[in-house]
Structures are given as C-alpha cells and as structure tokens.
Chains A and B, each alone.
Chain A
C-alpha cells in the first residue's frame, strides 16, 4: 500500500534521526532482555547447585535456647536430638519416614602417604539408605559395618574408587572404612550434603564417637502429605513446653529462595525498563516532529480524499518500522549481551539457550514494539485529526 511506501521513504529521508530513535529502542530491549537472561541464568545456576531434595522436612536441635532438658546449657549432648525425641517424631510423621542422622567432621587420610584431609562424616543406618534416594555412580548401597559411601567431589579430589580404604582420625585412630559406593553429584542439600562427605553406618558412628543422640532427623514426606503440615505436627509434638527443635521445610525454603531471586530479576528488569521509557519518549519526539513538519502534506492528502484512518496508518507504520527493526536488532544484541554477562558474572553460559532465555528476549522485543506503537499512536492520531483547511494553509 502507498502509505506503507511513504512511511518507509520518510524514514529513509530522515535516516539519522530514525536510526537514533531505533538505537534507543535497541538499548531498551537489550537492557530488559539481558537483565531477564541474567536473572534466569542466576536462578538456573542456584537450582542446579541445590539438590533435588524432593519433599523433605529436616529437624535440628534448637540452637537458641540453651537447653530445656536437664538445664545443662552448653554441653554438646544437649544440642542433639535424643532417641526419645526421635521416636516422638517418628510417630508424629507416620507414614512418612523419619531418618536419624549423626554427623561430625573428621580428619582422615586416603591410601598410604596421602595428605590429611578434613571432611564431613555422617552416620546413617543402612536400612534408611533407600529412602534417601542416593544415586550411585559406582558400587552399591550395600553398606557393611565398616563400609561407607562417599560423595562424588570427595571421590574425585582424592582419587577414590570402590574398594579404596580411608583411615579415619589422626593417624587412623578411628579405624578404617572401605568405600562400597560413590554417590553421584547432588549439589548443596538441605538434608545431607553428600558431595564432600563420607557416609558411614550409624553403628560405626555410635561406636567410634560414643554417642547415642542424633544431630538431625530427616523426614522424607510421602506423597499425599504436605511438608508444611508435617512441620507443624513436629513442632506441636516436640516444642510443647520449650522450643527444643527447629524444623525446616525444604519445599518452603526452596520456594522462598526462588521467590527472592524472582524479585531480584524483576527489579533489575524494571531498571532496564527505565531505558525503554526513555526510548519511548524519543520515539514520541521524532513522531511529533514527523507530523509537525508534514502538516501541509497531511492537509493536501486530506483535501484530495485521504481518510483520517489512512493518514493515521501512515504514521503508525512509521513507528512500527522503527519499533520492529530496533527491537529485532535489540533482540539479537541481547543474546550477545546475555552471553557476555553470564560468562562474566556466572562464569558459565550453559543456561543461555533455554526456554527462559527465549522468553526474556521475546519479552524485551515485544515490549519494544509495544512501546514504539504506543508512542507513535498519539502523534498519528493528532495528524489524522488535523483540520484539512488549516493544514492546507500551513506553511
């Protein structure tokens, strides 16, 4: 159509001005889209490093009160969960499984002449291992009394294979454990962080460290039960008189982490949005200029039979061309910018080519086009509604 042609030619005639307006839109789109990409990559990075804990509730001894039992205050045995408390938890959460976990950190040595290393040591009864859903990269769960499982990072760093022996304690004072299985990388976890740990049996742990009380209880919530409900039940049962345990709901914690990141992403995207507003103002400005310098032309068009909506379309096309080209260029550049930011800030670009990235770019491009059209609409409307007689007389 002829008005499309006129719009194109007018942009070409005012090439510099149009290019500058496009540049504004490009910057706006890049700001919004690349911030979106950064936010998405950030969330992806975090969720990748957190293990898929599933639905679990973790019970820790309450650290703040100084101890309600025996009033001893400060003794480390008071900062544990007793077997009696564990039984209470177990009954309260049924049919979900409550798993008592012992933990400490220990000095150890792998092989002859190896360096001393320090790692976490957990004591878990082998009968609960299936409930913890460990995936093994080698070996088996079959955990004999002096056997242990090790995490992937720990195994890799210390060159451990199934069958390797680890002498525990300074100079092997705590005996030797034989590795029966290696657990795949799980990332940071709320219950048991296995990646850099040794998982021994409960019996070995109790024998070695002469303890009967637990450091935490992991409750694997069965489907059909709600983690929030389980948390409440446990708190009701154990914290009747005094607060003796703190209970963490993995799902709620995860949700609040994501919520925080979501808020951060929204915030930085909104900052990007400011540059889009500025771009919109410049589009508005050049469209007003375009209308004002063509008042006479509009008058001629109207007098020889051009409808209002046709005049309007001519200016809307002009804004649309600037918007679509600017946004498209911005979309492409935002991938580049997203790549650069991800590489610099997260040291990783593996989260770049995802649906979330595509959505961020789409969002930026879409917003750019909408802003251009919105800012072109009023000038176009003004042009269409000029009085043809006055417009004709305009010099």
Chain B
C-alpha cells in the first residue's frame, strides 16, 4: 500500500478542514504497522482512506498496485470485499446471522453462493474458536469470542491487508492480549496488518509505528 502526498479536505460552512495534509508512506507486504495519534489528529480519516471507504482530495493511494482515486463506488466496494479485511472496535457482527454465516458473509458476497461451512470452520479454527459455538448467534458469545469471529470474517477472502480499528478497545486487557497474540501469529504467517490505536501497550505488538498529529505524519 502506497500513500503519495495524500490530502483530505472536508468542506465545511466555516471553511475547509484539512483532515490530512501531505501524507506519504508505504506499507510492504507482511508488515505489522500501528497508526497512533490523539483524537482529531486525522487517524479516522486515514483509516477510511486505507479502507477504501473514501477517496483522497489530493494525492494518490495505491493498493496492490491499483490506484483508488477515480474508482466508482461499485469498484471500491469490490476492492474492500476482496483485498481488505476489517476489524472494528465493537466487533460489528450481524445479529441476524449465526457464527458460520457471519464468518462466511464476505465470501458469499464474493461468490454469490450460499454458506461454505468447510471454509468457515477452517478460518474459525485458525482464530482458535471452539467448534461448539459455530451455530450460535453473536449475542451468545463473549466479547473476546466475538472479536475472534470478526477476525475470522476479515480473513475469509484472504485479503492483502487486515485493517484494525482499536481491535482491543472494547475488551479487558487479558482478552485483548489474547487477540493481539492472535494478530501477531497471523502476521508471522504472512498477513499484512495495519492497526489504528491510541493505546501504546497495544502498539508495542507491531513492528513499526506511524505517529500522526494535525493531519501530518510526525514520525
């Protein structure tokens, strides 16, 4: 992933807000990076751009060699589905679907077919979730278990990048450490991870840290 002189400007009645200004960096395959910064620093904007939920006002972003600047909504959506795995602070599982369905949801989007339980089980075992929980609904699981399901869902389409937004922010420290151990292991097995956090302890798990302040990279 490559950011070249990226700026994001939000036009507001009181004047334009430059949430990001001249941001350039590169993420190589297999890296484990954390992005840190106080609130209002432009972290969320950066996350949205990395996640292809938004396009830059200035500059270029390349993901796996593809420039995302002038893609249509449908193209960006497909890119998110196939190349990026999202992990959220609040797990964000679908309450109407059971665990296997939640995990294989992005796969169903990609193939247009129904649940593939084999692949679902394979990924759930990779995130060390107990087999007996596979047909439960998300609300019957603990926070840590839900986040493991969310990780499995993010991994199902073999994405190029795993994008995490405060993945442990809603977990107690012991459970959070478990999730971080899982992340570390996934990274050791070749998954590229970018994690946005404000928690320095969590950031220590990564191998490189990008610090951001007032829309600029400071280190």
A binds B: yes
Residues of B within 8 A of A (CB): 48, 51, 53-54, 73-74, 77-78, 80-82, 84, 86, 88, 92, 94-97, 101, 105-106, 108-110, 112, 114-115, 153-154, 157
Chain A residues closer than 8 Å to B77, beta-carbon distance? 302, 305-308
> Which of A2-10, A61-69, A73-81, A262-270 forms part of the interface with chain B?
A2-10
Question: Judging by beta carbons under 8 Å apart, are A10 and B96 in contact?
Answer: yes
**20 additional contacts, CB 8 Å, given A1-B112, A13-B96?**
A1-B114, A2-B101, A2-B105, A2-B109, A9-B96, A302-B77, A304-B80, A304-B81, A304-B86, A304-B106, A304-B154, A305-B80, A305-B82, A305-B84, A305-B109, A305-B157, A308-B77, A310-B109, A389-B48, A389-B54
In the bound complex, CA of A6 to CA of B115 (Å): 13
A–B complex contacts, Cβ < 8 Å, 26 sampled = A1-B112, A1-B114, A2-B97, A2-B101, A2-B108, A2-B109, A2-B114, A5-B97, A5-B101, A6-B94, A9-B96, A9-B97, A13-B96, A297-B95, A302-B77, A303-B53, A303-B86, A304-B80, A304-B153, A305-B80, A305-B81, A305-B84, A306-B77, A307-B109, A392-B53, A392-B88
Chain A residues closer than 8 Å to B110, beta-carbon distance? 305
Q: Is A162 an interface residue (CB 8 A)?
A: no
Residue of A nearest to B45 (CB): A389
Q: Is A300 an interface residue (CB 8 A)?
A: yes
Q: Is A388 an interface residue (CB 8 A)?
A: yes
In the bound complex, CA of A5 to CA of B94 (Å): 12
The total of chain A residues at the interface (CB under 8 A) is 22
Chain A residues closer than 8 Å to B92, beta-carbon distance? 296, 300
Question: Judging by beta carbons under 8 Å apart, are B74 and A308 in contact?
Answer: yes
Known: A6-B97, A300-B92, A389-B48. A305 touches B78 (CB 8 A): yes
Q: How far is the CB of B196 from chain A (nearest CB, A)?
A: 13
Chain B residues closer than 8 Å to A306, beta-carbon distance? 77, 81, 109
Residues of A within 8 A of B (CB): 1-2, 5-6, 9-10, 13, 296-297, 300-308, 310, 388-389, 392
In the bound complex, CA of A378 to CA of B34 (Å): 41
The 6 closest A-B pairs by CB, nearest first: A305-B81, A305-B80, A9-B96, A300-B92, A2-B108, A307-B77
Question: Judging by beta carbons under 8 Å apart, are A300 and B106 in contact?
Answer: no
Chain B residues closer than 8 Å to A301, beta-carbon distance? 94
Chain B residues closer than 8 Å to A303, beta-carbon distance? 51, 53, 80, 86
Chain B residues closer than 8 Å to A10, beta-carbon distance? 96
Q: How far is the CB of B144 from chain A (nearest CB, A)?
A: 19
In the bound complex, CA of A296 to CA of B153 (Å): 17
Q: How far is the CB of A385 from chain B (nearest CB, A)?
A: 9
Chain B residues closer than 8 Å to A388, beta-carbon distance? 53
Chain A residues closer than 8 Å to B80, beta-carbon distance? 303-305
In the bound complex, CA of A307 to CA of B77 (Å): 6
Chain B residues closer than 8 Å to A6, beta-carbon distance? 94, 96-97
In the bound complex, CA of A301 to CA of B86 (Å): 11
Question: Judging by beta carbons under 8 Å apart, are B108 and A307 in contact?
Answer: no
Chain A residues closer than 8 Å to B105, beta-carbon distance? 2, 304
Q: How far is the CB of B55 from chain A (nearest CB, A)?
A: 12
